[in-house]
Amino acid sequence: MTAVRREAFGRMPQEEGGGEVEKFILQSDSVKVEILSLGCIIAALETKDRDGKFSDVVLGFDTLEGYTRKHPFFGAVVGRVANRIAKGRFTLDGKEYQLFLNNGPNSLHGGARGFDKVLWSPQVLPDGVRFFRLSPDGEEGYPGDLKVWVTYTLSGGKLAINYQAQTSKTTPISLTNHAYFNLAGQGSRDVYDHEISIEADSYLPVDDTKIPTGEVAAVQGTGFDLRQPVELGKHLQKFHLDGFDHNFCLQQVQSPRLVARVRHPPTGRTMEVHTTQPGIQFYTGNNLDGSLKGKGAITYPKHSAFCLETQNWPDAVNKPHFPNVLLQPGEEYNHTTWLVFNIA
């Protein structure tokens, strides 16, 4: 059984429009997750180790104030389009659209005020919570009124995140959750002792602004071959990698499949990612620099967390050979990702 509670978490600053932020607590016998109505943020996720001890395994803040200041999308749902769009530009039906540039020369995770920075309308479910918002035509430069639903449900050790959307005009859409995980417990120094595998035969090489070059490269014989589990710290050293911030290309099938697995041998905690999405961005917290104080006033240094963001491929709106990222009026965008926590 999953218990669902809601409580006040604070008020948005006046310059952000005020408004009450609520926290929703979903609890099973093995997982407890806290989700905010601001940005559909996963603010905490506690799971058991092999001794039955619970630890919070996601980075974030104790108070609303942390989330209203600049931070690297901790735990948030990002959109309309996750990841980067080159030069913030794309053309649809002969019309060029220009988005806000918030990541060097590119647009990242929805722009200046993406889905992560707005209040959503919550609805409590027997085993979770559903959030809704209408993204109006022209918001952040995107076309069409977009209705969006994000639903979190918890069953035992399995957290499901379902994304649905409908639009009034053709628009690109790619939604993901940007939780930062450390299975040793948030605040642990690094994730080097984590073992990771990703079920992908190819990945997308990027230019120096992190935009895919267009090549779909085989992982075989490279540091991007994670099909068998690797210990992260040793692997980064072996291949002289500064970290990962890359899209791994998943099998193009509609059905859910296991796409990634992480294991933390010292605690026995494991996390599996199952999804219907065509890509997964593996990010090793390369831009964390210890300047942010998170929960318990702990700082988060480089490589102190990893993200496994299921999504469409970056810059797909400008790359016709990438999976289709356009939603048409009358169609429904509908994807689900499952995070499964266990002990091994």
Annotated binding site for beta-D-galactose: 83-84, 178-180, 245
Query: Of the residues 34, 303, 309, 335, which is catalytic?
Result: 309
DSSP state, 296? G
Element (H, E) at 11: strand 3-11
Cα–Cα distance between 44 and 59 in angstroms, integer? 7
Catalytic site residue 309? yes
Catalytic site residue 199? no
Q: Do the strands 89-92 and 95-98 form a parallel or antiparallel pair, or are they unpaired? A: antiparallel
Neighbours of 51 (CB within 10 A): 8
Number of residues assigned to the chain: 344
Beta bridge partners of 133: 148
Residue of 253, 255, 225, 244 whose CA lies nearest to 307: 244
> Which tokens is 38 given?
């601001």
Query: Of the residues 34, 46, 109, 178, which is catalytic?
Result: 178
**CB neighbour list of residue 23: distance below 8 Å, 6 or more residues apart:** 6, 7, 8, 9, 34, 35, 36, 37, 43
Q: Which residues carry a binding-site annotation?
A: 83-84, 178-180, 245
SS3 string, 123-187, reads EEECCEEEEEEEECCCHHHCCCCEEEEEEEEEECCEEEEEEEEEECCCEECECEECCCECCCCCC
Q: Which residues are designated catalytic? A: 178, 309
